Amino acid sequence: MATRAGSIGDGLRRVLLPPEEAVQIEVRGRIDAAVLVPLYMQDGELHAVFTKRRDDLRRHPGEISFPGGRFEEGEANLTVTALREAEEEIGLPAEAVEILGALQPTPTIATGYAIYPFVGMIDAGRTWIPSPREVAEVLELSLAELITGYGRRRLVRRGLPIRTDTYLVGDHLIWGATARILADLFDRIAPLL
């Protein structure tokens, strides 16, 4: 298993952007933010870890996203932001994450964030400590399930109908910036799967 995870990690490094290059990409957004895309191998399949945000949050309530948040003054870089937020939101310590690279940054449309995603490999079987202030649930979904659940769907957001890329696994619907991050990940790793 460790050998397979190691070879996947090597393959991911080859197809991902170097973090220092990714942060140089300009993205429309007033607020720089970073997310961690935590991946792990289990039973021969890659899985990703997401958070389901609490329904009573002001921004992006009830949405499924990767752990992350806004850059804070004094942080060395956006990778540090992603790791700090993952520890705060789901109890994933920075030293338990091997950063493999980055994905194309993406904006949020309604809230004005420029999101920089960093991909990290973690060990399977972690116990999560969700932040009671932000996280309703921690989700672990296989990439195969996510790919199977892809579809363009009609959603109503803020009273307006939109047709957008989504990923549906069970009753977990992923859309918006998180869906765009997943699409970039899947485009890059297709040769590895």
Q: Is residue 48 pLDDT above 50, yes or no?
A: yes
Amino acid at 152: R
Q: Cβ of 136: how many Cβ atoms within 10 Å?
A: 17
Q: Is residue 89 pLDDT above 60, yes or no?
A: yes
> Among candidates 193, 191, 47, which has minimal Cα distance to 126?
47
Residue 123 confidence (pLDDT):
96
Question: What is the per-residue burial (b if ≥16 Cβ within 10 Å, else e) of 146-155?
Answer: beebbeeeee
Residue 111 confidence (pLDDT):
81
pLDDT band at residue 1 using 50, 70 and 90 as cut-offs:
very low
Residue 6 confidence (pLDDT):
62
Residue 153 confidence (pLDDT):
84
Amino acid at 22: A
Domain ranges across the chain: 2-192
For the domain bounded by 2-192, which CATH number is listed? Answer: 3.90.79.10
Q: Is residue 183 pLDDT above 60, yes or no?
A: yes
Element (H, E) at 172: strand 172-174
Please report, rounded to a whole number, the percentage of residues in the chain having pLDDT higher than 70.
93
Q: Is residue 192 pLDDT above 90, yes or no?
A: no
pLDDT band at residue 2 using 50, 70 and 90 as cut-offs:
very low
Average pLDDT, the chain: 90
**What average pLDDT does range 41-68 have in this prediction?**
87
Element (H, E) at 166: strand 160-169
pTM above 0.75, yes or no: yes
Q: Is residue 160 pLDDT above 80, yes or no?
A: no
Q: Is residue 23 pLDDT above 50, yes or no?
A: yes
Give the whole-angstrom CA distance, residue 153 versus residue 187: 20
- Which of 6-15, 64-73, 165-174, 176-185 is predicted with the least confidence, judged by mean pLDDT? 6-15
